[in-house]
């Protein structure tokens, strides 16, 4: 197991063959390795480079790289990693053979194949011994990290499935993998093992409105250095800034894992993902600074960074390195804790990291209101970083934040000016926000509208939420890029005045693989010059039985300068 925090680069999001059609090639992998080395020269800490999904030939039993994408196999990549003391790693589909793995069945695996032809049994037949030998062979070639994804513990061949209860099959598969990994770690003590999808017994990472429940066996902590708490996606908390909703998702999932008994140090929050593909909703490098600070503040010892490293220039990487230098000593020697309310309930919350010389607090207000949160320290501090617009108010033991705002505060040693990190310019927070009491008319189950006085001098924020018949958030999706339908066509906000359409500014109008349960838009000051009332219509194309809830706010942004 790890004896200190590590930084792991994973090249998924620089390519994407599941929610996009950008393929992994040797050229892409080497290009990102060059970028990793550039980041290192500028001071960033990156210890590992994991090659993510679909590096392998479909018919090679996970022992050969895919052609023609890797014309000479992985040798050049491994050699360059070794030359520059980068520890290489590989993504593994665990025992999955289907859509997420796209593997052919080789003879050694045939007697482990389940009746659905999707996965392989890990306690019967030849698959698992062959799989463990495959890991050993890659270790000999220099691989020092394995990322396990899409595990399926229901798998059993027909002759076995007919004799065992489903619960017995689950337990036997779980035990086989866990014991196998423990033995592998004993024989290969330098290995880093990361657990991803499939290790939860019930889906607990796709919806942030559900109550917490225990869904993952804590014994996996014996085998894995960390388990991840979900691919970054929007939370079921509406946000005008789409990227802040993704921060809230990772924060809520971390709290879910914490409620199950996971130490913060053992949770891979997977929260830092920049990139040009569908998996990150074509984010580029938008709002990356707050995303980085929160990923570090969560306290995990496996710090993962995804995507196109070329998106950050020299000054950006030096800022990245400065943030790492502030947080990673705290991760190793300090104490981390959470405080405040639940992110998924739009309650202000934060993280405290402290050691004997000082402390850092990262706080977020996910609500559509100005909120004051009680801090776990009642000593003088200094605001080191915040989103643009609303100026956070730091008092003795209290912090006031604008709607959807993130802030970093330093105490003790960290009040020195050298630790200041500036302002996140590409996240703009209103200076004020006030809810308007409005009467909505239900046109049908999926359409609602209201009529407002003209209010031409006010910017209006419209917040729509969608719930299922049980009252939980209901996500609508039109599929993944490049063929997916954008959410702006499925969850609609329309406005008109004097029978003329008015422009509505939105950020959520994207093809979102994970679905979305809300829509937020703004009618800007100056777009309405008529004297008549404003009609706002909200609708959903969701086929299931849903209910829409709509709130409208008056917002005011600080004048430039």
Q: pLDDT tens, position by position, for the chain (561 residues)?
A: 899 999 999 999 999 999 999 999 999 999 999 999 999 999 999 999 999 999 999 999 999 999 999 999 999 999 999 999 999 999 999 999 877 788 999 999 999 999 888 999 999 999 999 999 999 999 999 999 999 999 999 999 999 999 999 999 999 999 999 999 999 999 999 999 999 999 998 888 899 999 999 999 999 999 999 999 999 999 999 999 999 999 999 999 999 999 999 999 999 999 999 999 999 999 999 999 999 999 999 999 999 999 999 999 999 999 999 999 999 999 999 999 999 999 999 999 999 999 999 999 999 999 999 999 999 999 999 999 999 999 999 998 999 999 999 999 999 999 999 999 999 999 999 999 999 999 898 887 789 999 998 776 789 999 999 999 999 999 999 998 888 999 999 999 999 998 899 999 999 999 999 999 999 999 987 665 667 899 999 999 999 999 999 999 999 999 876
Q: Are 194 and 226 in contact (CB under 8 A)?
A: yes
- Pairing relationship of beta strands 491-497 and 500-502 according to DSSP bridges: antiparallel
CATH 2.60.120, domain 434-556, yes or no: yes
The fold for domain 6-332 equals: TIM Barrel (3.20.20)
Question: What CATH number was assigned to the domain covering residues 340-429?
Answer: 2.60.40.1180
Tell me how far apart the alpha carbons of residues 369 and 251 are, in angstroms, rounded to a whole number.
19
Contacts of 244 (CB under 8 A, 6+ apart): 287, 290, 364, 366, 404, 406, 427
The domain segmentation of the chain, as residue ranges, is: 6-332, 340-429, 434-556
Verify cis geometry, omega within 30 degrees of 0, for the bond prior to 482.
yes
Tell me how far apart the alpha carbons of residues 236 and 516 are, in angstroms, rounded to a whole number.
7
Tell me how far apart the alpha carbons of residues 388 and 146 are, in angstroms, rounded to a whole number.
39
Q: Are 277 and 22 in contact (CB under 8 A)?
A: yes
Q: Are 262 and 251 in contact (CB under 8 A)?
A: no
- Beta bridge pairs of residue 521: 462, 506
- Beta bridge pairs of residue 147: 91, 194
Tell me how far apart the alpha carbons of residues 265 and 209 are, in angstroms, rounded to a whole number.
25
Tell me how far apart the alpha carbons of residues 535 and 460 are, in angstroms, rounded to a whole number.
12
Q: Are 250 and 271 in contact (CB under 8 A)?
A: yes
Query: CA separation (Å) from 415 to 36, 162, 362?
Result: 31, 65, 14
pTM of the model: 0.96
**Tokens found for residue 89:** 């790693």
Neighbours of 385 (CB within 10 A): 21
Q: Are 300 and 264 in contact (CB under 8 A)?
A: yes
DSSP for 475-490, written as a single string: -B----TTTPPPGGGT
**Tokens found for residue 438:** 């409005």
**Tokens found for residue 411:** 């105490």
Angle between helices 127-140 and 166-187 (to 10 degrees): 20
Tell me how far apart the alpha carbons of residues 192 and 145 are, in angstroms, rounded to a whole number.
4
């Amino acid at each position: 197991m790890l004896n200190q925090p590590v930084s792991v680069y994973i090249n998924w999001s620089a390519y994407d063959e599941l929610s996009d059609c950008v393929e992994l090639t040797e050229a892409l992998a080497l290009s990102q390795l060059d970028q990793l080395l550039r980041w290192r020269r500028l001071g960033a800490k990156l210890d590992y480079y994991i090659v993510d999904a679909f590096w392998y030939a479909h018919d090679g039993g996970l022992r050969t790289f895919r052609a023609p994408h890797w014309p000479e196999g992985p040798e050049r990549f491994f050699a360059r990693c070794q030359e520059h003391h980068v520890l290489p790693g590989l993504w593994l589909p665990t025992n999955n053979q289907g859509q997420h793995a796209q593997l052919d069945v080789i003879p050694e695996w045939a007697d482990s194949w389940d009746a659905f032809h999707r996965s392989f049994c890990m306690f019967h037949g030849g698959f698992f011994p062959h799989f463990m030998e495959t890991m050993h062979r890659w270790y000999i070639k220099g691989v020092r990290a394995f990322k396990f994804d899409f595990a399926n513990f229901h798998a059993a061949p027909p002759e076995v499935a007919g004799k065992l209860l489903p619960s017995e099959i689950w337990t036997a598969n779980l035990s086989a993998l866990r014991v196998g990994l423990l033995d592998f770690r004993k024989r290969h003590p330098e290995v880093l093992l990361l657990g991803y999808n499939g290790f939860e017994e019930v889906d607990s990472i796709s919806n942030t409105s559900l109550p917490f429940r225990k869904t993952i066996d804590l014994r996996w902590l014996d085998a894995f250095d960390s388990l991840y708490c979900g691919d970054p996606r929007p939370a079921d908390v509406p946000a005008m800034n789409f990227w802040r909703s993704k921060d809230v998702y990772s924060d809520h999932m971390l709290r879910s894992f914490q409620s199950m008994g996971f130490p913060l140090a053992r949770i891979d929050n997977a929260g830092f993902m920049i990139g040009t593909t569908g998996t990150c909703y074509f984010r580029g490098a938008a709002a990356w600074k707050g995303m980085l600070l929160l990923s570090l503040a969560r306290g995990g010892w496996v710090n993962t960074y995804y995507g196109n490293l070329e998106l950050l220039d020299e000054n950006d990487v030096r800022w990245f390195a400065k943030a790492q230098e502030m947080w990673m000593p705290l991760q190793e020697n300090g104490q981390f804790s959470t405080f405040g309310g639940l992110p998924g309930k739009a309650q202000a919350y934060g993280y405290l990291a402290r050691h004997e010389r000082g402390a850092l607090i990262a706080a977020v207000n996910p609500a559509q209101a100005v909120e004051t949160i009680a801090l776990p320290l009642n000593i003088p501090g200094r605001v080191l970083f915040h989103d643009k617009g609303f100026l956070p108010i730091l008092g003795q033991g209290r912090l006031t934040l604008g709607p959807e705002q993130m802030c970093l505060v330093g105490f003790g040693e960290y009040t020195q000016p050298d630790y200041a990190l500036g302002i996140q310019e590409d996240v703009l927070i209103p200076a004020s926000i006030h809810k308007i009491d409005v009467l909505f008319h239900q046109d049908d189950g999926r359409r609602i509208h209201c009529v407002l006085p003209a209010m031409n001098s006010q910017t209006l924020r419209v917040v729509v939420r969608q719930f299922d018949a049980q009252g939980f958030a209901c996500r609508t999706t039109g599929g993944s890029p490049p063929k997916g339908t954008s959410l702006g066509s499925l969850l609609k906000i329309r406005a008109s005045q004097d029978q003329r359409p008015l422009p509505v500014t939105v950020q959520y109008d994207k093809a979102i693989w994970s679905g979305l349960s809300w829509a937020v838009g703004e009618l800007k000051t100056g777009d309405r010059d008529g004297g008549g009332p404003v009609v706002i219509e909200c609708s959903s194309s969701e086929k299931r039985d849903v209910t829409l809830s709509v709130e409208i706010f008056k917002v005011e942004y600080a004048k430039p300068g």
